[in-house]
Amino acid sequence: MAWSFSVDSAKEHLPGLVSTASTSMFRDSCKGLKKRPYQCVGTSGIDNDNIRDKNRRLTVEQINFLEMSFNADLKLEPERKALIAKQLGLRPRQVAIWFQNRRARWKNKQVEHDFETLKANYDAVVKEKESLIKDYESAVEDNKRLQAEVARLTNLLQDMKDTDVNNIQSLMKEEQRSGNCELMSPTKSADCQSEIDDLIMPTDAGKVAMTNCSLQELNASIACGVRAEGECAFFMSSENVFGSLPLLVQQLIANGHCFEDAYNIYLGCEYFGGGWR
DNA sequence: TTTTCGTTCCCACTTACATCA
DNA sequence: GCTGATGTAAGTGGGAACGAA
């Protein structure tokens, strides 16, 4: 195909539409494969209709009308296209192209919006995951600490059983005989056997109440004679706190054990030994 | 009834140009 | 005035749908 173009004649006939810059581009672009109608004209010369369309921007009014129409319906039926084209003074092809490009822009916006939504959801999930990991690590630490405590007490108890089991049992029997422990006294124990069983010898070892309670708390619980859930349970006379403690506990404390360990050992003997009754 | 062909439309991608900082 | 980034009108190629022959 032979391309024929005269820049001078174009400038002469269409001075407002053919700038120096665009004409140089015009020549270059004609060497490319993709050409616009206004760029490469036939031997007949300039195509005035195509030149007129040179990347003409739509007016604000045209765009507003097209936007309104687009918002009403993204698709464009042939009848509507013809009507819009007539109303705006555009070619139906231009209206169709505008709708195509507008749909593409709309789709891009949708993709962006979807991306933002997904990103927000992802961030929330990550945050929740971090929180769960923190909780898990805290639980692992607690578990380690409790296991160490169990091991320590088990060892302590084992040592006591190995060395003093006979002594302990005799002490406990002596305590039971003396009636020092209210609930464990012969008279009380008959009435409160089920309570004692629940307290001292539960079927579930985990229910044995062993907590860190101070001597004051201990005294208070003794005075009230009430065993709150999860508290150390002493059911003894309250005249003299130390003197009312089980003999085993007294002896352990006298031997240098702290109160908590002494009482835990006492309960452990109750639970594991069980032979004093 | 099935096949073929032409037309139209749409989409994704690309190009060329206008505009702006 | 030049330049790069961005927005937009329009070109291109391919596929789908549809009707006529």
Domain region containing A195? 164-273
Q: Report which DSSP code applies to A32.
A: S
Asked if residue A99 and residue A13 are part of one domain, the reply reads yes
pLDDT, tens only, A216-254: 444 433 333 333 343 333 433 334 445 556 777 777 777
Residue A23: inside a domain, yes or no?
Answer: yes
Please report, rounded to whole angstroms, the spatial distance between the CA atom of protein residue A78 and the C1' atom of nucleotide C14: 22
pLDDT at residue A34, rounded to an integer: 36
CA dihedral over A249, A254, A255, A259, signed as positive or negative: positive
Domain count, chain A: 2
Give the CA A35 to C1' C12 distance in Å.
Answer: 10
Note the pLDDT of residue A145. 95
Give domain status of residue A146, yes or no. Answer: no
Per the DSSP assignment, residues forming a β-bridge with A236 are: A181
In a domain, A133, yes or no: no
Q: Is A7 helix (H, G, I), strand (E, B) or coil?
A: helix
In a domain, A79, yes or no: yes
Alpha-carbon separation of residue A131 from A123, A124, A184 (angstroms): 12, 11, 49
Answer yes or no: is A128 within a domain: no
Last residue of a domain, one of A78, A103, A128: A103
Last residue of a domain, one of A84, A103, A122: A103
In a domain, A158, yes or no: no
Residue A191 (CA) to nucleotide B9 (C1'), in angstroms, measures 96
| pTM recorded for the entire structure | 0.48
Q: Which residues touch strand C (CB under 7 A)?
A: A 34-37, 53, 55-58, 63, 93-94, 97-98, 100-101, 105
Q: Which tens digits make up the pLDDT trace of A47-74? A: 333 433 455 789 999 999 999 999 988 8
Q: Give the domain CATH number at A30.
A: 1.10.10.60
A103, A123, A148 - which closes a domain: A103
User: Do A169 and A260 share a domain, yes or no?
Assistant: yes
So what's the pLDDT on residue A253?
79
In a domain, A130, yes or no: no
Mean pLDDT taken over chain A: 63
% pLDDT > 90, chain A: 21
Q: What is the sign, positive or negative, of the torsion defined by CA atoms of A128, A134, A135, A140?
A: positive
Residue A256 has a pLDDT of 73
d(CA A36, CA A56): 13
% residues pLDDT > 70 (chain A): 45
